[in-house]
Amino acid sequence: MKANTRLCKQLLAQRRTFSSTVRRLDNYAFIGLGQMGYQMARNLQSKLPPSDTIRLYDINRGAAEKLAQEMSVQQAGGASTHVADSAADASREADTVVTCLPEPQHVKATYESILKDELPPRPGPRLFIDCSTIDPTSSREVAAAVDKALPNGQGHFVDAPMSGGVVGATAGTLTFMLGAPDSLVARSEIVLQRMGKRVLHCGPQGAGLAAKLANNYLLAIENIATAEAMNLGARWGLDPKVLASVINVSTGKCWPSEVNNPVPGVVKTAPANRDYQGGFGIGLMRKDLRLAILAAKEADAKLVLADKASEVYETAESEERCKGRDFSVVYRWLGGKE
C-alpha cells in the first residue's frame, strides 16, 4: 500500500513538472525568395508549430508579400508570418536565419547588413544557415565575420547548398550538403529536413559547398559528353532510344543519359520534351562551373576540361534558341536532331 502511494506521488510530481515546462518559442528569418527560396520558405513555415514566427525578406518586396499572403490563406497550422523591411530587420530577433541568395557578393552584402549593428542577445546561440551556392572561400569569410560579430558562441554560420532544383524545393525533397562542425549538425538537420528529404554532412564549415561544386563540375562535363554521344549516334543512324538504352546499362551511364537525356522523346519527363523549358537553367550551370573553376584555382587543382566546358555553355547561352533553357539544350547547340 505504501509503495503504491509513493508511486502515485512520483507520477503526480512528474505530471506537474511536464505541465509547467513551456516550449520556448522560436523565431526564424528567411532571406532570399527566388525560385528556390520561395518554395523552401513555404515548406519551412508550414512545418513549424503555430507558436513560432518566421519573418520573410527579399529585395523584391512583392515576392515576400505574395508568399505571406499565400501562407495566410492556406495556413492550416504553421508558423505565424511577417514581412520584414530589410535583412537586418528580419534577423534582429531570429534564433535561426536561413539565406538563399544568387551570388557571393549578395551573401557578403546581406550578412554585412545583418551584422552591422549589434544584435540583441537571444536565449541561445543564433544559427545562420546559408543555402546559397557560392565559393567556399567567400563562405568562410562570412563565417569569420559572424564569429567576430557574435563572439563566445553567440552565433554560428554553416553552409548548406542544395540539390534537387525547383521541383525538389516545391516537393520538399531537396538534398542538402552541410558544412558544419559536429556540434551543429543535429540542430541544422532539424531545420533543413523541414525543407528537404536528406541532409549529408560533408565536414566542417565550407565542406558542403566544396562537395556541391565538385559534383556540379562533373555534371557539367557529363552533360556535354552525353549530348555529343547522342548526336554522334543519331548521325550514324542509331535510334536515340536504342542508344540511350545501351548507354544506361553500360559504363557510359550517368544522370544526363538516364534522367535528363538531351534528345526529345527519349525520357518522357526530361526538359528536352518541353522545348528544354524548366529544369536546371544553363545560366545556373555556367555560374556553378565558374565557381568550381575559382575554387579549383584556390586549391591548386588542375581542371583540364573546365575552360572548354565553360566556353560551350557561354556560347550556347548567347544564342536565343538556347537562352534561359535547361542546360541539356547544348544538344540543340551542337546541331542535334530534334
Task: Give yes or no: 212 in active site.
Answer: yes
**Cell digits of residue 104:** 557571393
Residue 290 in 3-state DSSP?
A: helix
CA dihedral 237, 240, 241, 246 (to 10 degrees): 80
Closest by CA to 210, choosing from 261, 159, 268, is: 159
Tell me the sheet residues that pair with 309.
none
Backbone angles phi, psi at 125, to 5 degrees: -60, 140
CA distance 236 to 231: 9
Residues 6 or more apart whose CB falls under 8 angstroms from that of 186 comprise none
Contact 227, 335 (CB under 8 A): no
Q: Which helix (H) or strand (E) holds 10?
A: helix 2-20
CA distance 193 to 43: 10
The one catalytic residue in 148, 197, 212, 297 is 212
Burial of 16 (0-12, 13-18, 19+ CB in 10 A): exposed
Closest by CA to 263, choosing from 224, 231, 223, is: 231
**Cell digits of residue 152:** 563566445
Which amino acid, 252? G
Q: How far apart are the first and last CA of the chain?
A: 86
Which amino acid, 23? R
Q: What is the DSSP string of 253-283?
A: --HHHHTS-SSTTTSTTSGGGGTT-SSSBHH
Let me know the angle formed at the C-alpha of 104 by 103 and 107, rounded to the nearest 5 degrees: 95
Catalytic residues: 212
